[in-house]
Amino acid sequence: MTNSAKTPVAVLISGRGSNMGSILDACESPDFPVRVGIVISDNPKAEGLKVAKENGVDTLVVKRSDYSSKAEFEEVIDKAIRETGAKLICLAGFMALLSEDFVNGWHNQIINIHPSLLPAFKGLEAHQQAIDAGVRFTGCTVHIVRPEMDAGPIIIQAVVPVTKNDTADSLASRILHYEHVLYPEALRLLITGEAEIKGEKTIINNGRWQKTGHVNPAPLI
């Protein structure tokens, strides 16, 4: 598949953009149906901007403080994305909350990754929330964005065990590995049409569903 034949997407970041990096790595494969048309950051010092440039991707910095209103800030972002012809917007550590108008203007076309098994542990410090709750499993979720925080149809999830010695940092590190697996796969599912959004559910066609269960801690008998 030539690069021009791939479907363009936009990626929004605020920091290092490690999930953006996993998407860019996936785009290197001739069979991956996506290319990144633009990377936009609200933070001019975001480390991910350098990574995007090194990969030959156009970048744009849009600082909220440069605009008199959130609507004006989002209008600039919206215009830049539409000029690339992007079909999806990938939130990859983008810390600015998008307005209801913006989200509705890209209905079912904005995806996000969150480090928990949604709908559990929404918001900030999801890893610590999981530890404090004493759960034995947590994970990460790629989902379609809705105006409500960390809400929307779930596309794909990964389960990660929580151990008795875990800290928020150690748990985050293990979950991040699976975030990098899930985000490109979610994009592939959506772009190929294997994932269909119907109401508030995502229907996966031809998926390889796993039926085995897991116990944590594992029984000794």
Task: Judge if 132 and 202 occupy the same domain.
Answer: yes
User: In sequence order, which residues have a C-beta less than 8 Å from that of residue 86 and are 6 or more positions away?
Assistant: 8, 9, 10, 37, 38
Task: Judge if 87 and 125 occupy the same domain.
Answer: no
pLDDT at residue 190, as a whole number = 97
Picking from 55, 83, 106, the residue at the C-terminal end of a domain is 106
Nearest C-alpha neighbor of 127 from the set 137, 116, 136? 116
SS3 153: coil
Task: Judge if 128 and 88 occupy the same domain.
Answer: no
Nearest C-alpha neighbor of 73 from the set 52, 50, 102, 104? 102
pLDDT digits (tens, 9 = 90+) for 42-60: 999 999 999 999 999 999 9
* Residue 89 in domain: yes
The domain of 93 spans: 1-106
Task: Judge if 94 and 137 occupy the same domain.
Answer: no
Task: Judge if 127 and 175 occupy the same domain.
Answer: yes
Task: Judge if 10 and 98 occupy the same domain.
Answer: yes
CATH number at residue 46: 3.40.50.170
* Residue 221 in domain: no
pLDDT at residue 4, as a whole number = 79
Q: Which residues of the chain have pLDDT under 70?
A: none
DSSP state at residue 117? S
Picking from 77, 106, 135, the residue at the C-terminal end of a domain is 106
pLDDT at residue 210, as a whole number = 87
Helix, strand, coil distribution of the chain in percent, nearest 5:
35, 25, 40
pLDDT at residue 147, as a whole number = 96
Residues designated as active site? 114
pLDDT at residue 2, as a whole number = 82
Task: Judge if 10 and 62 occupy the same domain.
Answer: yes
pLDDT at residue 207, as a whole number = 79
pLDDT at residue 3, as a whole number = 83
Cis amide bond preceding 119, omega within 30: yes
Residue given tokens 């929330």 in the structure block: 129
pLDDT at residue 1, as a whole number = 82
